[in-house]
Amino acid sequence: MRKILSFSFFLLLGLVLSQLLPGVLGEAYASLKTYTDTLLYVALAFIMINVGREFEIDKSRWRSYTADYFIAMATAALPWLLIVVYYIFVLLPESLWSSPEAWKENLLLSRFAAPTSAGILFTMLAALQLKRSWIYRKIQVLAIFDDLDTILLMIPLQVLMIGLKWQMGALLAVVVVLLAVGWRWQGRWNARQEWPAILGWAVVVCAATQLIYVVTKSLYGPDESIHIEVLLPAFVVGMLMRHRHTDSAGERRATTGISFLFMLLVGLSMPLIGDGGSSDPGSVTASQPMMPWGTLLLHVVAVSALSNLGKLVPLFFYRDRLLSERLALSIGMFTRGEVGAGVIFIALGYNLGGPALLISVLTLVLNLVLTGIFVLWVRRLALRSYNPAQEEADASAA
């Protein structure tokens, strides 16, 4: 629980610093932001490599995962769509309800609610002695597919934001190649997996994506450059690694420290929250006037409730299991973490902002604070039907 609260603390600390440092540092703040954004991309790549390392499926039984994938996709899509509708019809004036710009910006910004925090969830359930339960095994598959769906859906969202240019064709080709390589050679790479090695590969992934951007920018200009987000390349690098469990106190401290740094940097990347709106009137979301804090907090509660309501999709499937197990599975998907924060950072790259951005950040903080309660709720429901001997037999049969 202390770790979860620390995530929230560092995200809020970064948010506070993002409002104070520009005034304190003046022109020097631009240089600082360049360094912090670079560190943020490296930390995000590190996290996504670890998410990819958790992606372990038996390819000989791929058809058995089909139902799980579509359930995970629905579990990721429903909260996203609920929040899109909320952001459009509640936060924006009626004159913008039919605006294509407003829809595409909010489709990207609200994607933060889609991914479940796989790392946080797995760690806490394992600590509660539920690692052999059906709920743990099933949520492991759903949470990874949930993150994968979030990563893949960022591609068409980028197409919406940038438009149908030739660069999008090149980007889609890169995506197809990466997915093919990841599937074909999943778990084949016998690489070192201590945290310094993974951090090194995170730097390589960031350098490669940045090199593509710099080269295409120099050849075609900034508006015609190819910008590949680090999410998918880093995830595929993790997929390729033959997963080794390098669990030690030092590994845990380093991995947790990088996650804390990431959350701090996400908060630090937030734009200034002014009373009169955004400095970028070209963005629909960023040009909206800021709301009073009391109103903002009411929206945070509403958006959090909608995002978790959307995560109840598994409750209506797996009818061969008890209702308490299906409810536990659904509540387990409530947890949010680094991938959702990464989506918010990517949204910032498209100059999105305004009250919707702040509500998204604070909703993420609220769900992090509530994560311990969610997991204890899962444990209570799971223990009602948990039979270790039966679970062992079911796992062997599967």
What pLDDT, on the 0 to 100 scale, is given for residue 338?
66
Report the alpha-carbon distance of residue 256 to residue 209 in Å, rounded. Answer: 25
pLDDT class of 62 with cuts at 50, 70, 90: low
**How confident is the model over 42-51, as a mean pLDDT?**
86
Alpha-carbon distance of 64 to 239, in angstroms, equals: 19
Please check the confidence at residue 205 and state whether its pLDDT lies above 50: yes
- The partner residues of 241 in beta bridges, in order of sequence, read 189
Residue 116 has pLDDT above 60, yes or no: yes
CA distance 162 to 165: 8
Pairwise CA distance, residues 304 & 79, whole Å? 9
Check residue 302 and give its pLDDT. 95
Q: What percent of the chain has pLDDT over 70?
A: 83
pLDDT band at 247 (very low <50, low <70, confident <90, very high): low
The DSSP line for 224-269 is G-----SHHHHHHHHHHB-------HHHHHHHHHHHHHHHHHHHHT
Residue ranges in the chain assigned as alpha helix (H)? 2-25, 28-53, 66-86, 100-109, 118-127, 134-162, 166-184, 195-220, 231-240, 249-268, 293-310, 323-332, 338-349, 354-385, 388-397
DSSP-derived secondary structure for 47-97: HHHHHHHT----GGGGGGGHHHHHHHHHHHHHHHHHHHHHIIIIIS-GGGT
- 176: exposed, middle or buried (C-beta count within 10 Å: 0-12, 13-18, 19+)? exposed
Query: Which of 230, 231, 227, 232 minimizes the C-alpha distance to 214?
Result: 227
Given pLDDT bands bounded at 50, 70 and 90, which one contains residue 103? very high
pLDDT category at 30 given cuts 50, 70, 90 is confident
Q: What does each C-alpha distance from 344 to 196, 265, 326, 352 come to in angstroms?
A: 26, 12, 30, 9
pLDDT one-digit tens code per residue, 369-382? 787 788 778 778 87
Provide the whole-model pTM.
0.75
Banded model confidence at residue 152, pLDDT cuts 50, 70, 90: confident
**Structural domains present in the chain:** 2-397 (1.20.1530)
What CA–CA distance (Å, rounded) separates 173 from 176? 5
Does the structure show a pLDDT above 50 at 278?
no
**Contact indicator for 50, 256 with CB cutoff of 8 Å:** no
Chain segment 209-245, per-residue pLDDT in tens: 889 888 887 877 766 677 777 878 888 898 898 877 6
Q: Which residue has the higher pLDDT, 300 or 216?
A: 300
Reference 336, options 122, 60, 117, 96; nearest CA is 117
Stronger pLDDT, 62 or 154, i.e. the higher one: 154
Average pLDDT over all residues of the chain: 80
Q: Using CA atoms, how far apart are residues 3 and 13, in angstroms rounded to an integer?
A: 15
Over residues 112-129, mean pLDDT:
63
Task: Give the span between the Cα atoms of 283 and 304, in whole angstroms.
Answer: 24
Q: Return the higher-pLDDT residue of 164 and 327.
A: 327
Of 139-143, 174-178, 204-208, 327-331, the poorest mean pLDDT is in 139-143
Total residue length of the chain: 398
Rounded CA separation 160/8 (Å): 31
* CB within 8 Å of 370: residues ≥ 6 apart: 334
Contact (CB, 8 A) for 49 and 234: yes
**Residue 275: what pLDDT?**
41
- Residue 388 pLDDT > 60, yes or no? no
Bridge partners of 189, per DSSP, are 241
Q: What is the pLDDT of residue 386?
A: 59
